[in-house]
A = this chain, B = another copy of it.
Amino acid sequence: MNAADVTPSTNGRARQAWARSWTHLRIERRSTTWCRVTFDHPPINTITAATVEELAELVGLIEQDPDLNVVVFDSANPDFYLAHYDTEHDPGRTAALGVGPTGLHAWLDLLVRLSRAPVVSIASIRGRARGAGSEFVLACDLRFASREKTLLGQFEVGLGVVPGGGPMARLARLAGRGRALEILLVADDLDGPRAELYGYVNRAIADDRLDDEVEEIASRLSSFDHDAIARTKSYVDKVTLPDDREFPSPLADFFERLGRPAVQERSARLEALGLNTDSDLERSLGRRVVEAFSG
């Protein structure tokens, strides 16, 4: 029995796995080498324990697919790419996520595995991506943002917690110390042009050009040799990816602080103002997060 004999049935099983029904994602396999994943979790694409489970499964499929060259992540909602994490008033669900194959918490695990996968991951960003949404974007290989319709940010310090999904490690290396400290500590939104200036994204692209340009880039990548991509990426990984050991401590801080009464009060205050819904608060969270402290 040779490899060619085995491949069809493996591919058959793989196709089935990709084709399962997803709750917060829509997946379109453009070709054997190219996949498009669309976040679709109304009303504002929050990330919940269920989203993490689906993304973890997806990353597993991406890792094991010998043909895949490129995965594009976009959003069904033009105003929200990925709002942020939502514990759904049940921290137990998040706790139950456990750890992934790397030994890291499921969220960190899927992000570091996506970063290392022998596939080019592209965040095609239109709308808001904050907190864990920004962390997802930062774990992708390439980031292209709508010049007019992007807001990126880590608002966590504005709530009194430490960002938990690795943005200190990733932003410091992308944007340099000064700009990373500004993003993380001032905790305000960055629009497309500023995100481009700071290196938070590769480029801001005129909104009416974004989809076409990402399509063109993905199309090129889909036509290239898988192994040449994988080997070249692996050399960049060696000098740019944070050590896995940088991640657990901030996440432990995040969970510890999230449980504090003062933080719970601030969260409740923001919820009363519209957090987790398609509200003015969510649309202007960078500016309005200070209201968490003004109760």
| B-binding residues in A (CB < 8 A) | 120, 141-143, 156-158, 160-163, 168-169, 171-182, 184-188, 194, 196-199, 201-203, 217, 220-221, 223-225, 228-229, 231-233, 235-236, 238-242, 246, 249-250, 253, 257, 262, 290, 293-294
Contacts and interface: CB of A to CB of B under 8 A. Distances in A.
Given A162-B232, A179-B199, 20 more contacts: A120-B181, A141-B178, A168-B232, A168-B235, A168-B239, A172-B240, A173-B177, A174-B176, A175-B176, A176-B240, A177-B240, A179-B202, A182-B202, A186-B217, A187-B220, A197-B203, A198-B202, A223-B293, A224-B293, A238-B246
Nearest to A196: B197
B177 A176 contact: no
Contact of A236 (B120, B177, B202): B177
10 contacts: A141-B185, A142-B178, A142-B186, A168-B232, A173-B239, A175-B176, A177-B236, A178-B199, A180-B240, A196-B197
Given A120-B181, A220-B186, A199 B228 contact: no
A160 B227 CA distance: 8
A188 B171 CA distance: 25
Given A186-B220, A231-B253, A239-B169, A174 B181 contact: no
A143 B181 CA distance: 11
Contacts of A184: 232-233, 236
Best-buried of A120, A224, A235 by chain B (most CB within 10 Å)? A235
Best-buried of A157, A187, A238 by chain B (most CB within 10 Å)? A157
A64 to B, nearest CB: 20
A177 B241 contact: yes
A228 B184 CA distance: 10
Contacts of A246: 235, 238-239
Nearest to A178: B202
B161 A228 contact: yes
Contacts of A172: 236, 239-240
Q: Which 4 A-B pairs have the closest CB atoms?
A: A177-B240, A168-B235, A160-B225, A174-B176
A93 B157 CA distance: 43
A188 B141 contact: no
Contacts of A175: 176
A193 to B, nearest CB: 11
A253 B238 CA distance: 16
A160 B169 CA distance: 32
Given A173-B177, A290-B223, A257 B228 contact: yes
A265 to B, nearest CB: 12
A250 B203 CA distance: 27
A240 B176 CA distance: 8
